[in-house]
Amino acid sequence: MSPDEQSSPATHDTPVLVVGAGPVGLAAALALRALDIPVTVLEARPRDARRPGSRALYVHRTSLRLLEQAHPGLGREMADFGTVWHARRTLYRGREVYARTYPPASGTGLPPFTSLRQIDTERFLRDAAESAGARIEWDAEVRAVTASSKAVQVTVADGRQWTAQYVVAADGARSAVRRCAGIELGGSRAEGFHVVIDVADGSQKRPAVRELHYAHPRAGGRHVLTVPFTGGFQIDLQCKEDDPVEKFTDRDVLQRWLPRMIGCPEVIGDLMWVSQYRFLQVMADRFTDGAGRVLLAGEAAHLFPPFGARGMNSGIADADAAATTIALALSAVSAERARAAVNAYARDRRAAAVDNSAAVGAALSHLRPAGKLAQAKIETAGRLAPWVPRLGEWLERAPYGPRTTHRRRPGPGY
Q: What is the DSSP string of 67-98?
A: HHHHSTTHHHHHHHHSB---EEEEEETTEEEE
CA distance linking residue 91 with residue 223, whole number of Å: 10
pLDDT at 361 (0 to 100): 81
H/E stretch holding 258 reads: helix 251-262
Its pTM stands at 0.90
CA distance linking residue 402 with residue 308, whole number of Å: 9
Q: In this predicted model, what pLDDT tens digit does every residue of 263-298 receive, in sequence order?
A: 665 545 577 888 888 777 889 999 999 999 999 999
Provide the CB-side half-sphere exposure for 116 (13 A, CA). 21
- 271-277 β-sheet, strand order: 95-101, 87-92, 209-216, 222-229, 232-238, 194-200, 271-277
What letter would DSSP give residue 11? E
pLDDT at 309 (0 to 100): 79
Terminal CA-CA length for the chain: 53
Mean pLDDT of all residues in the chain?
Answer: 87
CA distance linking residue 231 with residue 81, whole number of Å: 10
Partner residues linked to 194 by β-bridges: 238, 277
User: Can you list the residues of the chain whose pLDDT is less than 70?
Assistant: 1-10, 52-54, 105-108, 190, 202-205, 263-269, 403-414
What letter would DSSP give residue 182? T
Let me know: does 55 contact 118? Beta carbons within 8 Å.
Answer: yes
pLDDT at 5 (0 to 100): 46
CA distance linking residue 242 with residue 323, whole number of Å: 45
Q: In this predicted model, what pLDDT tens digit does every residue of 339-348 receive, in sequence order?
A: 999 999 999 9
